[in-house]
Amino acid sequence: MPENEIVYLKYQNLEDMLKVIIYSAQSMLGVIPMLYHISHNGRHVLFIQTGTVGGVTVHYVIQNEKPAKKFIQLKRLSGEYTFIDNLGTDAQSLYVPILQLDKSTLAFPA
């Protein structure tokens, strides 16, 4: 992969993309990628970014509507998720904020 290349991975559904967050949280670094929402070309795109300098991967999924809640509660063991308004206390869950972007330089493929 050439230096500074961006790779886009489009998922069929949000559940599959959220598995990347679970896997990342269980890695040795324990890093949880941020989850972003942006309206892009009339579509609602939810995406996360992984990788480092020299190679970035953007994982994304197209949604029919803007997320109505501020967080996703993501169960570590089952991968089940729920949109919620506030952080919870379930130690077996990850609480992922959905960050609303106004602009991005990313050019999401169709």
Q: Which residues pair with 6 in a beta bridge?
A: 56
Q: Say yes or no to pLDDT of 4 above 90.
A: no
**pTM of the full structure:** 0.86
pLDDT tens across 50-106, in order?
A: 886 668 899 999 999 999 999 999 999 999 999 999 999 999 999 999 999 999 999
Assigned token pair, 71:
């967080």
b/e map 32-67, b = 16+ CB within 10 Å: bbebbbbebeeeebbbbebeeeeebbbbbbbeeeeb
Q: What is the pLDDT of residue 1?
A: 47
Residue 48 near residue 16 (C-beta atoms within 8 A): no
